[in-house]
A = this chain, B = another copy of it.
Amino acid sequence: MPEPNAVEGLIQALRKLPGVGVKSAARMAFHLLQNDMPGALQLARALEQAVNSVKHCQLCNTLTERAICATCSSPQRDRSKLCVVETPADQAALERTLAYQGLYFVLMGKLSPLDGIGPKEIGLKKLFDRVAAAADSQTPLSSEAVGAREVQEVILATNFTAEGEATAHVIAQALKSRGVQVTRLARGVPVGSELEYVDLGTIAHALVDRR
């Protein structure tokens, strides 16, 4: 039986990872120490580097090492569209589609009152400030200000879970009064799926939103 010190400490630390229980953690620890010492050191360095260098983008709130992330500072992005997502992972999924060229705003969470996560815990105020700044610059309606690529459409791409839907609803309510177009990702039948195996709620939404 290994001593409770280093190996046990490593197993406990690995359990901090989401989806890793004590058995997986033990398997990971033993694997690293038996077969992949360089991998373990690489992971240790990557963790330290990420913790020390990663912060939130001042514009879109995503994780980045710069004050303004690569997406926000890219001149190629369409600055009239702002896509609101819950996490950087959701953002990465949208980026992989190559179907969206606008900017993002990453909430870093979702409204979840039962867990004590309200508008302050996620980036809602930062989002509203950003859109408000855009709306203000729109009020004089100088075509140049609009042409200056400010937010004209907010696309809500929070998850289609209860919390994600609630978050989308709150954002939509708050933004509609500010004169910004607010849209939501389409609900419907996933590509490649057979109707027989799709859940009823999805089919009902696909019927209502038919085009």
- For residue A5, CB closer than 8 A to chain B, the reply is yes
Of A34-42, A139-147, A155-163, A191-199, the one touching chain B: A34-42
A interface, by DSSP: helix, strand, loop or mixed? helix
- For residue A62, CB closer than 8 A to chain B, the reply is yes
Q: Which residues of B contact A31 (CB under 8 A)?
A: 17-18
CB distance from A21 to the nearest CB of B (A): 12
Contact status B50-A89, CB under 8 Å: no
Contact status B3-A69, CB under 8 Å: yes
Q: Which residues of B contact A54 (CB under 8 A)?
A: 2, 6-7, 33
A17 and B32 contact, Cβ closer than 8 Å, known pairs A51-B44, A64-B2, A70-B3:
yes
Contact status B30-A69, CB under 8 Å: no
A47 and B43 contact, Cβ closer than 8 Å, known pairs A64-B2, A89-B26:
yes
- For residue A76, CB closer than 8 A to chain B, the reply is no
Distance A204 CA – B13 CA, assembled complex (angstroms): 43
- Scoring A9, A37, A62 by chain B CB atoms within 10 A of each residue's CB, the highest score goes to A9
Distance A63 CA – B26 CA, assembled complex (angstroms): 12
Q: Which residues of B contact A53 (CB under 8 A)?
A: 5-6
* CB-CB nearest 3 A-B residue pairs: A16-B39, A13-B46, A44-B47
